Structure 1
Amino acid sequence: MQGKMGLLLLAAAFSAAVFMQMAVATNVVPAIYVFGDSTADVGNNNFLPGNQAKANFAHNGIDFPGGTPTGRFSNGYNGIDYLAKKLRFKKSPPAYLSITREAMLYRGANFASGGSGILDATGRNISISLNQQIKDYEEITRHLKSRVGATAADRFLSKSLFIFSTGNNDMLGFYTVFGLKNATQQDLLIGQLANQFKNQLQTLYNLGARKFVVFGASRLGCVPTLRRAIPSGECAEDLNKLSQQFNKATEAVLHSLASTLKGFSYSFIKVYDIISVVSSNPTKYGFTDLVSACCGSGKFNAESSCTPNATYCSNRDQYFYWDRLHPTQATSRLISNTAFRGRKYTTPVTVEQLADSRRRY
């Protein structure tokens, strides 16, 4: 019995040493943990019942290695994949629900779920809410601490990156149900989202997270499915204004947390600003179509989703939108690569600076 206990203690000490080495010996983050919606999902929804909010079928993934539909809402990689590549990972960490071996968790996990939002009501019954994603992460921290000890686990997590792409479905759902006629309702929604998101980030902080990357909302009013519904084919500018309002509130939340929580640091990615610049001169960035979806049918290719029976464009790198809601991998690559080093489009630091363990700010 004593011999077995000695081996267990030795194994725990070795695991702790490995974790400490991973967290200290490199400037690249030891692990990535991802939370959010379909812009970040890499396959969690594949494991949910029913057929809604899924992308594990053709023509999705046509440009992914092997032409495989992985569950990403994209013709190939998504924005999380490209950030991970910049951080010397092969791609996003695996979908949490796909993980079968403990060792896979040591480089992170992706909890994102297509259709989800900051609020539990968003995407109910078809996705994994952000609150539930955080509960799933909490299970990992418990396991990690029991395996390597609290000190080593906390050090490891403090060097890791926690990436968020969320809030989009909350606003789209609100717009679809209520429209944007009432400014008071809009203010209440943004306030509710900001307060909930602040609590969620603080929960993760209490679980050991210290470095946060947050993708801001895009120009939601310009997605093909909304353009299709407007006779002129223009963007729904009132929804774009709501996106900007959400971004402003999110920045305020992050600044507040960084001011009050020791060690809390972040990089906020100004996705809206990046898209605005691209829209002003699309050919400069390699795009010829910012309006229609590459894959779909009907007006703006946005009258149906990207199903195996849908048509799709051959010049996919020249399209901003893959389907009626989601960007192509070319768009995702541009946004993430810009955010990694582009000081103009991140605040207060770039993702590269946030990831650098030597930097103090």
Structure 2
Amino acid sequence: MKYSMAASLLIALTILGVAMDGCHCKVVQFIFGDSLSDVGNNEYLSRSLARANLPWYGIDFGNGLPNGRYTNGRTVADIIGDHMGLPRPPAFLDPTLTEDIIMSNGVNFASGGGGILNETATYFIQRFSLYKQLELFGGVQELIRQKIGPTEAEKFFQQSQYVVAMGSNDFINNYLMPISGDSWTYNDDTFLIYLVGTLRNQLKLLHSLGARQVIVFGLGPMGCIPLQRVLSTSGDCQQKSNNLALKFNQLTSKLVMELSNTLPNASIRFGDAYDVVNDVISNPSKYGFDNADSPCCSFGKIRPALTCVPASRLCKDRSKYMFWDEYHPSDSANVIVAKEMIKKLGFGKVNQAGAPSPQPSLAPSDAPVAAPAPSPNA
């Protein structure tokens, strides 16, 4: 009888995927963000107007086809994760996602156009706000609890790494747009209080869901992206936008320090790359760039073209351009930002096993060239 009961227990534990001495799950990461971190979620939102499903996106990544990333190569999160030995988490909406994949690779909830505020970028029709991403994370947690049990699931989520990288859309695609209700409701100071106060509640919610190791990324000089420059008659950076980014970073840095000191067992850190990005823009040749004010992928003299399109022309050498399109940095720029974060935050290896995916080959591109066929998943 005792043998029978022990055998039954062992079978039950095996079915649940729990070893007798614990889960032994490796460290993975869960990413919450916008188009700077999206790896394909918006590709599965059929009505979304914020999608990176056209050539030339992804030209320097894998097979060169669009893969959901809003750049020619890797995101900052890709590069930092590779450095730390973390697997690249798949998009939450990837139809192949399973509990086993979640425990082996984590999940990326980032969504192009997403913001801290629910009302941000509503004209994109479909996108995941940060509150929606946290809701989806709660659903993922329930799946894992059912898979390995509540105790091991708690350990798994508490040892995982978390990235929160949002905020630029709340300004560029909300507050700074005259048609936005928030632009009429708030001034600069009250909007920042509203925005950072909302982020405070979201970070506390993330902590209540078990997140302990959290990195919150700040904003770069968003007034210097090509889309903002083209709105100026002089082509210069929009200083108002940059000032808002600096103030957001200041308030968010204080918030992160406060929460890290008051929430139980929390390690919440702030990643600020504003200065290095601003230096690249001011001194591009110092970092190996020929251009830091216009996109590599553009539709000739017709600007702003918000996305790359099959008829777009590419710069001759993608590694020499800081910006890939009107909004987003190139792979080369993302490498600089990632290295700055690694240095400032002291990121080291977490998982020793497993090699990172290969870096893209940034061969010079002579425009125009034939566009690759769209990805089957686009």
User: For the superposition of Structure 1 and Structure 2, which TM-score range results when normalised by the shorter chain?
Assistant: 0.7 to 0.9
| 1:256 CA displacement | 1.2
| Matched AA of 1:228 | V
| 1:115 matched residue in structure 2 | 113
The secondary structure found in structure 2 opposite 1:96 is coil
Retained in 2: the 8 A contact 1:16–1:152? Answer: no
Query: Judging changes above 3 Å, is the alpha-carbon distance between structure 1 residues 154 and 236 closer, same or farther for their aligned structure 2 residues?
Result: same
| Matched AA of 2:32 | F
1:351 to 341, 347, 352: 347
Q: Distance in 1 between matches of 2:44 and 2:17?
A: 35
For structure 1, list consecutive stretches of 5 or more residues without a partner in the other structure.
24-29, 344-348, 357-361
Retained in 2: the 8 A contact 1:222–1:236? Answer: yes
| 1:39 CA displacement | 0.3
**Is 1:315 the equivalent of 2:313?**
no
- Larger mean CA deviation between 137-146 and 113-122 belongs to 137-146
| 2:82 matched residue in structure 1 | 85
- Larger mean CA deviation between 128-137 and 142-151 belongs to 142-151
| 2:29 matched residue in structure 1 | 32
Retained in 1: the 8 A contact 2:280–2:292? Answer: no
Retained in 2: the 8 A contact 1:293–1:301? Answer: no
| 2:304 matched residue in structure 1 | 302
Percent of matched pairs sharing the same residue = 31
**Is 1:7 the equivalent of 2:11?**
yes
Q: Distance in 2 between matches of 1:329 and 1:126?
A: 26
More helix, by proportion: 1
| Matched AA of 2:276 | I
Q: Distance in 1 between matches of 2:153 and 2:21?
A: 11
- Larger mean CA deviation between 39-48 and 98-107 belongs to 98-107
Query: Judging changes above 3 Å, is the alpha-carbon distance between structure 1 residues 15 and 327 closer, same or farther for their aligned structure 2 residues?
Result: farther
1:52 to 44, 49, 72: 49
| 2:224 matched residue in structure 1 | 222
The secondary structure found in structure 2 opposite 1:103 is helix
Query: Judging changes above 3 Å, is the alpha-carbon distance between structure 1 residues 12 and 183 closer, same or farther for their aligned structure 2 residues?
Result: closer
The secondary structure found in structure 1 opposite 2:39 is coil
Map 1:1-361 → 2, pairs under 5 A: 7-12=11-16, 14-15=18-19, 17=21, 19=23, 21-22=24-25, 30-50=27-47, 52-89=49-86, 92-98=88-94, 99-106=96-103, 107-124=105-122, 125-172=125-172, 173-177=174-178, 185-299=187-301, 302-340=304-342, 342-343=343-344, 349-352=345-348
Segments of 4+ in structure 1 off by > 4 A? Answer: 1-6, 15-18, 178-184, 298-301
Retained in 2: the 8 A contact 1:228–1:303? Answer: no
| 1:100 CA displacement | 3.0
For structure 2, list consecutive stretches of 5 or more residues without a partner in the other structure.
352-378
Count of matched residue positions in the alignment of Structure 1 and Structure 2: 341
Q: Distance in 2 between matches of 1:299 and 1:4?
A: 71
Retained in 2: the 8 A contact 1:297–1:304? Answer: no
| 1:314 CA displacement | 2.5
Query: Judging changes above 3 Å, is the alpha-carbon distance between structure 1 residues 169 and 16 closer, same or farther for their aligned structure 2 residues?
Result: farther
| Matched AA of 1:160 | S
Deviation digits for residues 199-256 of structure 1, max 9, x if unmatched? 1111111111001112211111011111111110000001100000111111111111
| 1:181 CA displacement | 9.8
Query: Judging changes above 3 Å, is the alpha-carbon distance between structure 1 residues 284 and 129 closer, same or farther for their aligned structure 2 residues?
Result: same
| Matched AA of 1:136 | L
Query: Judging changes above 3 Å, is the alpha-carbon distance between structure 1 residues 184 and 52 closer, same or farther for their aligned structure 2 residues?
Result: closer
* TM-score with structure 2 setting the length: 0.84
| 1:26 matched residue in structure 2 | none
| 1:302 CA displacement | 3.4
Deviation digits for residues 160-190 of structure 1, max 9, x if unmatched? 1111110110011211227999996111111
Query: Judging changes above 3 Å, is the alpha-carbon distance between structure 1 residues 140 and 17 closer, same or farther for their aligned structure 2 residues?
Result: farther
Query: Judging changes above 3 Å, is the alpha-carbon distance between structure 1 residues 214 and 68 closer, same or farther for their aligned structure 2 residues?
Result: same
Q: Distance in 2 between matches of 1:34 and 1:51?
A: 20
Retained in 2: the 8 A contact 1:117–1:169? Answer: yes
Query: Judging changes above 3 Å, is the alpha-carbon distance between structure 1 residues 270 and 87 closer, same or farther for their aligned structure 2 residues?
Result: same
Query: Judging changes above 3 Å, is the alpha-carbon distance between structure 1 residues 292 and 146 closer, same or farther for their aligned structure 2 residues?
Result: same
| 1:128 CA displacement | 1.1
Q: Distance in 1 between matches of 2:286 and 2:274?
A: 18
| 1:280 CA displacement | 3.6
Deviation digits for residues 286-333 of structure 1, max 9, x if unmatched? 111000100112459634521111111131111010000000011111
Q: Distance in 1 between matches of 2:63 and 2:127?
A: 27
| 2:360 matched residue in structure 1 | none
Retained in 2: the 8 A contact 1:293–1:300? Answer: no
The secondary structure found in structure 2 opposite 1:97 is coil
- Larger mean CA deviation between 54-63 and 142-151 belongs to 142-151
Query: Judging changes above 3 Å, is the alpha-carbon distance between structure 1 residues 306 and 324 closer, same or farther for their aligned structure 2 residues?
Result: same
Q: What is the aligned-residue RMSD (CA, Å)?
A: 2.5
